[in-house]
Amino acid sequence: MQALTVISGLLYMAGFYRTGFVYAGLLCQMIYMAYRGMALGRLPIVGPHDTLFFMSASTMVFALAVTARHKERLRLLLPLVGLALFFTALSALYKPHNTPLPPVLKTFWFESHVALSFFSYALFGIAAVFGGLFLSVKDQYVETLQYKAILVGYCFFSTAMIFGGVWAYLAWGTYWLWTPKELWTVILWLFYSLYLHARLRQWWAGRPSAILGIVGFFIVMFTYLGVSLFMKSSHSF
Amino acid sequence: MIGMVKKIFGVLASLRTGIWLLFSLIAMLLYGSLIMPVREEFQALHTTPLFEWLYDSPAAVTWWLFGAIVILSLLTANTVLCSIESLLRKRSARNLLLVISPQVIHIGFLFVLLAHLLSSYDSFQGMGQAAKGTTLQLPNGSVAIIDDIRADIDPAGFINDWSADVRYMSGGKELAKDSMRPNSPSFYDGIGLYIKTVRFEPFPVALIQISRDPGAPWALVGGVLFLIGMTTLLVLKIRMEEAVQ
């Protein structure tokens, strides 16, 4: 079944030739995740393999939706396919986490916290790609798309933080833990709050806010992977 | 004097100030996240209220938190003043919901800050192992007695779930009975009892955590307000977009 991850990657590559292959790649990802979900009896969103794969699929779902009504769809979609392909390849570097979950992770709050976090990460990734596109083609419409992706991503991320707080309170007796992961999560949330406020000012509009949107995604990746890899924290994957 | 007050008000009520305060806060937390894993003093922060920990710890490891508190205080003033100024400026706007929803988000944020303030001042956390019949002293003067410890183990040997029964007593009188399991603590009089893990050899023992977090209900109120404001704003923006198209 893991061959589906390779097939989906190959289909995404073929997507650079024809858009139909992108849909086929996404379908393969969905089948793989559904299979793993049924085999494990839970959402496959634990460990870097599953989360990176989930992030890749989320990126593609949002990318197809965001670009659906656009006249020059391919110009916007292809860099996003590249992003999804990157996450698919990255997920292949990690072994799937197949052991049963500890009781503390068997809750709606955990699953929704993780799923919403990765929806937001995917949207922040899409926004970073749009930011890069805006800097190269100077099309104001692309910058507006970046803003919209960040606004929706911020909504998902804030909800994920609140759900995470509820879960933490029910599992550990406090909605806030002093760990590097929590601090980076707040840094990320503050950074996108900063983006949304800064964009209201004329000085920050356009190029500076596009750059902020790109920088934000580096913070996303550090919060997600960097903290777990480089910092000692009880809150990791 | 009035000119000076007006000037300070003008600076505090400015969006530009808010943006630079956010930048400074991010810088402080960034520094904190880097020293947190390498300094042992932070281990005590998990079990001590923040203000007590700040008082007891050396300034070399706490200065960034003091800085963050100062910036957050200024950000609170900035949020309140910007919200009031925005409401006054846009009070005659046609779509009032569009004016109000960002302020609901701000109120939600302020509630979360209030929650942190309360938790930093008066939270409590204790942990200990308890066997059947163990009496745990609670911070409100009453006691909790562990009556039973159970686990559900699958054929492969993995523990699927565990739980414990608890009885609350005060002055020899039974106050309440309850049970607890992972993600489902037992609450009594604002105090939560959490079963962290269990061990059955040589006899059943549970690791029990006793917690009190006075900020939690306010954090929930803040979170709900934040979500209501955010969702309303998003829906309104989508509708406006569709109307333009």
The pLDDT value recorded for residue B156 is 77
Name the residue in chain A with its Cα closest to that of B161. A103
What number is the ipTM of this complex? 0.92
B182 with A177: Cβ contact below 8 A: no
A175 with B234: Cβ contact below 8 A: no
The H or E element containing residue A13 is: helix A3-14
Would you list the domain boundaries of chain A? 1-101, 103-237
- On whether residue B228 sits in a domain, the answer given is no
Tokens 């919209």 belong to which residue? A148
* Rounded alpha-carbon distances, angstroms, from residue B153 to B148, B158, B203: 16, 6, 16
Q: What is the pLDDT of residues A131-179, one digit of tens each?
A: 999 999 888 889 999 999 999 999 999 999 999 999 999 999 999 988 8
CB contact residues (below 8 A), chain A span 165-204, against chain B: 165-167, 169-180, 183-184, 186-187, 190-191, 193-194, 197-198, 200-201, 204
My answer on whether B148 and B69 are in the same domain is no
Between helix A73-92 and helix A20-40 the angle, nearest 10°, is 30
The H or E element containing residue A20 is: helix A20-40
Q: Comparing B154 with A110, which gets the higher pLDDT?
A: A110
- On whether residue B232 sits in a domain, the answer given is no
My answer on whether B133 and B206 are in the same domain is yes
Q: Nearest-CA distance from B224 to chain A in Å?
A: 8
Task: Among B24, B36, B104, pick the best mutation site for testing chain A contact (most A Cβ within 10 A).
Answer: B36
A100 with B160: Cβ contact below 8 A: yes
Size of interface A-B (CB pairs under 8 A): 120
When CB atoms are compared, the residue of B159, B192, B220 closest to A173 is B192
CB contact residues (below 8 A), chain B span 104-143, against chain A: 115-116, 119, 123, 125
- On whether residue B222 sits in a domain, the answer given is no
A190 with B184: Cβ contact below 8 A: no
Average per-residue pLDDT for chain A: 91
The pLDDT value recorded for residue B245 is 62
Q: Are A91 and A63 in contact (CB under 8 A)?
A: no
B46 with A178: Cβ contact below 8 A: yes
The pLDDT value recorded for residue B165 is 94
Which residues in chain A are closer than 8 Å to B118, comparing Cβ atoms? none
When CB atoms are compared, the residue of B16, B32, B161 closest to A103 is B161
pLDDT at A236 over 60: no
Q: Would you give per-residue pLDDT tens digits along chain B (245 residues)?
A: 788 888 888 888 899 999 999 999 999 999 999 999 888 888 888 889 999 999 999 999 999 999 999 999 999 999 999 999 888 888 888 888 889 999 999 999 999 999 999 999 989 999 989 999 999 999 888 999 999 999 888 887 777 889 999 999 988 888 999 999 999 999 998 899 999 989 888 888 999 999 999 999 999 999 999 999 999 999 998 888 777 66
Q: Which of B43, B73, B89 is the C-terminal boundary of a domain?
A: B89
> Which of B8, B15, B137, B159 is CA-nearest to residue A201?
B15
Q: Are A22 and A60 in contact (CB under 8 A)?
A: yes
* Rounded alpha-carbon distances, angstroms, from residue B32 to A186, B26, B132: 12, 10, 42
Q: Sort strands B135-137 and B143-153 into parallel, antiparallel or unpaired.
A: antiparallel
Task: Among B19, B24, B75, B218, pick the best mutation site for testing chain A contact (most A Cβ within 10 A).
Answer: B19
Range of the domain at B189: 124-212
The pLDDT value recorded for residue B10 is 85
My answer on whether B62 and B6 are in the same domain is yes
Number of structural domains found in chain B: 2
- On whether residue B103 sits in a domain, the answer given is no
My answer on whether B139 and B207 are in the same domain is yes
- On whether residue B107 sits in a domain, the answer given is no
My answer on whether B130 and B185 are in the same domain is yes
B213 with A173: Cβ contact below 8 A: yes
My answer on whether B130 and B67 are in the same domain is no
Q: Distance from first CA to last CA of chain B, Å, rounded?
A: 52
Q: What is the pLDDT of residues A153-165, one digit of tens each?
A: 999 999 999 999 9
CA distance A117 to A20: 28
A194 with B162: Cβ contact below 8 A: no
The answer for B157, left when phi > 0, alpha when psi is -120 to 50, beta otherwise, is left
